[in-house]
Amino acid sequence: MNHFFKTFFACLLALFVGSIGFVMVSFIVLAGIIATLGSLGQSKYIGSVEPHTVLQIDLAQPIVDKPNGSAIDLFDYNDFTFRDQLTLFEAVTLIEKAADDPRIDGIYLNIPMGIPSSISTLYELRQALTAFRESGKFVLAYADVYSQGGYYLASAADRLYLNPQGGVAWQGMASNVMFYKGLLDKLGVQAELVRHGAFKGAGEPFVRESLSEENRLQTEAMTSSVWNFLVSEIAESREVAADSLQAYASRLAVGTAGDARRLGLVDSLYYRDQLLAELARLSGQDSTEGPELLPLQKYKYADSHNGAFTVAGNPMADNEIALLYADGDIVDAGDPNKQIVGNALAETLADIRKDSTVKAVVLRVNSPGGSALAAEIIWREVHLTQQVKPVIVSMGNYAASGGYYISCGAEYIVTAPTTLTGSIGVFGLSFNVGEGARNHLGITTEVVKTNPSADMGNIFRPMSPAERLYMQNGVDSVYARFVSVVATGRNLSRDSVDHMAGGRVWTGTQAMENGLADCTGTLSDAIRIAADHAGLMTGDYYVGQHPTPESSSFAAILGALTHAAVAKVTASTPTLLTDEAQRLRALIDRHGIRTEMPLRIEMQY
């Protein structure tokens, strides 16, 4: 009995001590969370900017088109902080602010070997840098190796510097198209394609192993148009003949840093320490101590006492120009932070339409398209909003097919010269995985039905002739509606729209010439046009981003931690799908009638 009580009280004591320890540890962890939360805003505040500061733009940090509204994706679980992000809108706004800031002497562009930004993003940054130079301040660029995209951006600088052992990649532009028919054959999957428009090749990668004649033609035209634009811009900035630049690319004439210097592509061959000494000299600093550098991400919070980004325009104004992002594939359901979800974006537009403080809307479209129904739902809200207040579309890297569809409800369309747009066409795609499921996974099915097509859409059998005709009629109906939307929105005849449609993709420059866009320009241009159409002067409004940039609130931190825990549990759970089956699922998700860019083209620049 004594032994029993000894054991009992020992266990009770251990439980008591353990509980006290757990409470203490929990308290310490909670205190750490609160301390971290308090420091998040503090760490962003940098105080005032020192005189003779040089603004440093490091392109190794991605400049995104749309702010990430999810704190989960930006939370760094290693050091318990949120990774900062910089949107294109913010970057351009900061460059414009720096041009008028007497404490900023110039800009230093640090160009990495590869830039994680689209060519249209680089175009808009380049325009901002060119305007900055017009203020009388300097822009210097440096790289160990310039990629073509990096060199295009850097060519806007007053002077270009290159590592003496580096180089400039200058060989022309290529477009890579990936085809999946061989993979589907290997998996025992048959794809069936129905489309309206010879250039509507979005389904071609699933039924062909190479480009059709029509899609080769349009891919060559797109690639050449973008490349020729880049060459013309560089030729003007560097005062080198465009024909010479084309010849250098064809002959691979720029093999070394010395070649780049001799051919006039760069101004000087410097090591980085020499470049920093030059920056110090230009900003009136001691070259031995180096220049006063301020990263663009930090300048974002300069003179801010709450770690918040100062919005463009007048933050004290009562009138808002809403900057609404439509970024990603257009889907019927999904994550609004990563895709354009039809009903979700339409609901946001409806809220903006009903908000009397919002005087105009800039819809930033960066999408290759997707679901035809979701595009129609969004278009309807754009159209309704346009009847109440001005809606101006600003096109990013893509605004094609469904992305162009939703743009046609707006009053005015601004496109970058390098935007890929148009693609007025429709396709339907169906997959039959029956053979592959049987041979690779051992799965068979049997269907009992009341009518011949009761199981239409069943991915374990091919379409019947009646079902194929049904899909073709659906595709033709959506195409007719698409043409009508474009004709009405752009004030064009149906015949003229049909003539330039057929699923063909155009660059922004070509789209303007065809009447599919109103002008070429930047997001900043679109905002100014929106203000003008709303009758607002510069000091009468501010620009509000929708969705708003990420939150670093206590709830956001807890949400991020919860997401991490769930992800860890999920990662340890065995899956029933093989790697091949998972890849197959990703392909099958594209079934049905879609307004989507003909081909997912990867441009090497």
Q: Are 195 and 203 in contact (CB under 8 A)?
A: yes
Strand partners, 358: 320
The residues, ordered by sequence, that sit 6+ positions from 1 with a Cβ below 8 Å of its Cβ are none
Strand partners, 294: 55
Gap between the Cα atoms of 405 and 483, Å rounded:
9
CA distances from 35 to 32, 38, 40, 80, 83 (A): 5, 5, 9, 11, 17
Tokens (6 digits) for 189: 């999957």
Question: DSSP letter at 94?
Answer: H
Catalytic residue of the set 401, 423, 430, 552: 401
Tokens (6 digits) for 87: 């949107």
CA distances from 558 to 29, 217, 231 (A): 12, 52, 49
Gap between the Cα atoms of 40 and 82, Å rounded:
8
- CB atoms near residue 290 (< 10 Å): 14
Gap between the Cα atoms of 380 and 353, Å rounded:
12
Q: Is 401 a catalytic residue?
A: yes
Gap between the Cα atoms of 446 and 444, Å rounded:
7
Gap between the Cα atoms of 486 and 276, Å rounded:
52
Gap between the Cα atoms of 543 and 231, Å rounded:
34
Gap between the Cα atoms of 165 and 239, Å rounded:
24
The residues, ordered by sequence, that sit 6+ positions from 291 with a Cβ below 8 Å of its Cβ are 54, 108, 276, 279, 280, 282, 283, 285
Q: Are 366 and 66 in contact (CB under 8 A)?
A: yes
Q: Is 97 a catalytic residue?
A: no
- Give me the DSSP letters along 134-179: TTT-EEEEEEEEE-HHHHHHHTTSSEEEEEEEEEE--S--EEE---
The residues, ordered by sequence, that sit 6+ positions from 5 with a Cβ below 8 Å of its Cβ are none
Catalytic residue of the set 44, 137, 200, 389: 200
Q: Is 22 helix (H, G, I), strand (E, B) or coil?
A: helix
Gap between the Cα atoms of 306 and 496, Å rounded:
54
Tokens (6 digits) for 269: 């061959």
- Give me the DSSP letters along 343-380: HHHHHHHHHHHH-TTEEEEEEEEEE-EEEHHHHHHHHH
Gap between the Cα atoms of 94 and 526, Å rounded:
17
- Give me the DSSP letters along 324-335: EEEES-EESSS-
H/E segment holding residue 341 = strand 340-341
The residues that are catalytic are 200, 401
